[in-house]
Amino acid sequence: MIFTILALVVAVAAAVPQKDRPIAILRDDRIAPESGSYSFQFETENGIRHTEDGSPGEKGQTNSQGVYSYLLDDGSVVEVTYVANENGFQAQSPLLPVAPAFPHPIPEYVLRQIEFAQQQESL
C-alpha cells in the first residue's frame, strides 16, 4: 500500500509542468521611427538574432529588409534573409524548399492558349 501511494506521488510530481528559466536578451538596439524609417537589432543567449531596417514605400506600405538566425538542435545555424515591399515578402535561405524543374516541355497548343489569353487581357 505504501509503495502504491509513493508511486502515485512520484507520478503526480513528474506530471507537473517544469518551468524553463527565461532566456536573457544580450542585445536590444532600436532606432525610433524618424519620418517612417526605423531600425532594430536584437540577440538572445540561446542564439536567436534579428536585424531589420525599414522605410516608407511609395504605395503606402512599409519596405523592410533584414536577416534573422537561430540554432537548430544539432548546433547548426539557420539564417534567413528577407525583403518585404510592394512585391510582398520574399525570403531566402538554403533551407527553404525549391520547386522541382518542370519535367517535360510545354506542348505547343498550350503555349498558343496562353498567348491567346494574354492578348485577350490586353484588350
Site of grid cell 524553463: 20
The cell for 94 is 538554403
- One-letter amino acid identity for 39? S
Closest CA to 74 of 98, 95, 91, 43: 95
Distance CA 123, CA 115 (A): 13
Domain regions of the chain by residue span: 21-121
Average pLDDT over the chain reads: 86
- Please state whether the predicted TM-score (pTM) of the whole model is above 0.85: no
Distance CA 48, CA 78 (A): 10
Strands 77-85 and 62-71: antiparallel
Question: Average pLDDT of each block of 10 consecutive residues along the chain (123 residues)?
Answer: 52 61 93 87 96 91 94 93 93 90 88 94 82
Q: In sequence order, what are the residues at sequence separation of 6 or more whose Cβ sits closer than 8 angstroms to the Cβ of residue 1?
A: none
Q: What is the pLDDT of residue 58?
A: 87
| pLDDT tens column, 55-84 | 998 888 889 999 999 999 999 999 999 999
Q: What is the pLDDT of residue 28?
A: 95
CA dihedral 91, 64, 62, 37 (to 10 degrees): 170
